[in-house]
Structure 1
């Protein structure tokens, strides 16, 4: 294992001291090796006369500036790496909020830390070596599939890796391979349940007993419905595609919020409008700072996710702080099958393909029997498409394919008269 898990029998003060030491180490590494962070350090020092890496209390982190998604694309590809490229053993690319993708890197130790976090989350959900774990995630969450595979294999679990399959093949594997744990998104779980019943496949004939739900928050009514329909338990995991990695937070058997891996990440809740840290127990935007990540440190990263921290001890006895993951977002991103999509990503792709930015609108289109998709309506323009039908169809097909590959989600294009916008 990575060796960064804190013993559960630590006192709160001992836990806070280790978090502070890890935070100081992260800040030192970032300020020493990353120009973006070093320039911020210099500005703080000039303004306050203090070195921001010499924090004496965790609460002092509120004096540091935020990181946002725009910074990840602006410093493409390796501008935010805090270690030499020779120390990087994995590079991951994800859609950014601009024309540039987000590129993240991992050292060997980073990968061990992720494996440790995912294994702990799975083990807390009762997954063990007797299970067969199947992973079914969208293209945009493919990296999470790899992390769940690594984390499960560390527990000697039998793993069916994340592989693009037709819905019929997914059901066949679920049935024939005796899957007992399925890692998927809530929306995909609903669609899979619908397909099972239409195919005449009775859930009682399956070995499936546990769903690990990722990518989207869920309401209690949804859980009760899907658990009753499929005769399974559900366990919610929270992750960030920008880090990227799953299981930053996870549920225990009491389902009273998600335990945050605060031995690896320091959470804050802020007012999304003012950026001020909110009083204990108030709902706002979740901000995360990495404590053990070596290659790609995040310092006060604004997630855009709505949450509330729960300070009271959990009945399970785990000392990690919990959060309630709330519906909705504090930014203008859409969550499509667990993959976050920003308007600027669509704008950049349209401009690349067409040479200019047309008038367009985008929506999340929910489909009961298929994957939810991103619908993009483009205003018809003389400059835009050919009058020839075959040419028009080809242009639309190529544009749709390019958008889907770039964003990692299903896309539907529609042409509309500008007057209808």
Structure 2
């Protein structure tokens, strides 16, 4: 699959696209109700698409649609065919709920295995997974993919950084799946503990969840004496390893037999020529339970036009740090401003003036900082009551968003 000729790849994509559109149009009212699935062919079966490029005539899916059809409104198969259900924070009051058939889970194992193979992972490795709670679903997918390759896995477990480092050292971990932020945190902790990296068996870092900046890669590789491998996925839906690095380390190969990528102008929605930077839009080609049709990811990216020395013919993706929307990326977990506002209102019974931002905490791990304006409605006769309310708000945000949180009270004029 990795070395399909362009005409073979396009034919495979077209066949799978038509099957996906037929299934979605037939089984999902959301798609049935949008009669303009194919421009100029109102009411006609969307399989009338004759070329992959014709997908540009279809409407976009957005994150708000995932919450609006909570919980099972976007499922394209009966519930009896669902074998796993995932939940992630959504952009509306409802969370995002996604389902997977057995075939879907096999697909994810295949993609994860493909990405691991490209990174040189074999059955001789001991693979440790260390991801934030908000990426717990990814932890399961990475575990399943590694186990399908007979790799020994230390599953994603909520441990303190010092405990993760202990496991890394004592269990002779040779490959670590984590985010760039957590990798930096563990590295700083290791040097603080005066643990020599040569005492570790670690050889590879699989970095996920966030764009990997060149300076961060150089820093990790030089301090840990490892090789780093970057992978891309969606934290809300459907999962990890949608794109992965090969040995060339210049762009991420997209699994084009499972996903159809587009780059569009984030304002007009027009498809941009290959090589131009814009918003990444993805369409699933093999997902049965939860098909995405032109899903706007908000990720800023470009499709690279050059061929790869590794021989893989799948297109490569360059993934940028800034986004085309206002979503915050915190250690790989996507947080929408509306989610923050909703939880603040639930905790305080009103929405004060506030400012949310991503900050670096100890060891350069990222956290969500919400600076809230001092407001008379916050205060009572006892300071302990105010402290309790702020503590409850921090806990609510942390629990519901799956990211570290810090609340600060500030003068309104400083916001």
TM-score bucket of the superposed structures, by smaller chain: over 0.9
Whole-angstrom distance in 2 between the partners of 1:368 and 1:231: 23
Bigger shift: 150-159 or 343-352? Answer: 343-352
What is the CA-CA distance between 1:53 and the residue it aligns to? Answer: 3.0
3-state DSSP of counterpart to 2:106? helix
Whole-angstrom distance in 2 between the partners of 1:255 and 1:372: 25
How do 1:112-261 residues align onto structure 2 when only pairs under 5 Å count?
112-261=106-255
Q: Decide whether aligned partners of structure 1 residues 325 and 79 sit closer, same or farther in structure 2, where only a CA change above 3 A counts.
A: same
Q: TM-score, normalised by structure 1?
A: 0.96
Bigger shift: 212-221 or 260-269? Answer: 212-221
How do 1:26-41 residues align onto structure 2 when only pairs under 5 Å count?
26-40=20-34
Deviations 1:351-375 (A, max 9, x none): 2222222221101111242631100
What is the CA-CA distance between 1:417 and the residue it aligns to? Answer: 2.4
**Equivalent pair of 2:179/2:331 in contact (CA under 8 Å):** yes
3-state DSSP of counterpart to 2:50? coil
Whole-angstrom distance in 2 between the partners of 1:59 and 1:132: 43
Tell me how many residue pairs correspond in the alignment: 414
Q: Decide whether aligned partners of structure 1 residues 79 and 12 sit closer, same or farther in structure 2, where only a CA change above 3 A counts.
A: same
3-state DSSP of counterpart to 1:115? helix
Whole-angstrom distance in 1 between the partners of 2:3 and 2:375: 66
1:383 to 377, 382, 386: 377
Q: Which residue of 1 aligns with 2:277?
A: 283
**Equivalent pair of 1:132/1:157 in contact (CA under 8 Å):** yes
How do 1:305-344 residues align onto structure 2 when only pairs under 5 Å count?
305-344=299-338
3-state DSSP of counterpart to 1:305? strand
1:420 paired to 2:414: yes
1:398 paired to 2:392: yes
2:294 to 291, 295, 300: 300
3-state DSSP of counterpart to 1:369? helix
Deviations 1:102-128 (A, max 9, x none): 111101110010011001100110000
1:92 paired to 2:86: yes
What is the CA-CA distance between 1:51 and the residue it aligns to? Answer: 3.6
Whole-angstrom distance in 2 between the partners of 1:60 and 1:392: 57
Q: Decide whether aligned partners of structure 1 residues 373 and 46 sit closer, same or farther in structure 2, where only a CA change above 3 A counts.
A: closer
Deviations 1:42-68 (A, max 9, x none): 244695445433210000000101111
3-state DSSP of counterpart to 2:73? coil
Bigger shift: 380-389 or 175-184? Answer: 380-389
**Equivalent pair of 1:104/1:296 in contact (CA under 8 Å):** yes
Q: Which residue of 2 aligns with 1:3?
A: none
Q: Decide whether aligned partners of structure 1 residues 232 and 107 sit closer, same or farther in structure 2, where only a CA change above 3 A counts.
A: same
3-state DSSP of counterpart to 1:240? coil
3-state DSSP of counterpart to 1:349? helix
Whole-angstrom distance in 2 between the partners of 1:56 and 1:48: 13
Whole-angstrom distance in 2 between the partners of 1:45 and 1:261: 25
3-state DSSP of counterpart to 1:211? strand
Deviations 1:112-149 (A, max 9, x none): 10011001100110000110000000010111111010
Whole-angstrom distance in 2 between the partners of 1:126 and 1:171: 23
Structure 2 residue runs without a partner (length 5+): none
**Equivalent pair of 1:93/1:101 in contact (CA under 8 Å):** yes
Structure 1 residue runs without a partner (length 5+): 1-5
Deviations 1:235-286 (A, max 9, x none): 0000001223110000000112100001110000011111000012111111
Whole-angstrom distance in 2 between the partners of 1:127 and 1:278: 35
Deviations 1:50-91 (A, max 9, x none): 543321000000010111111111111111111111111111
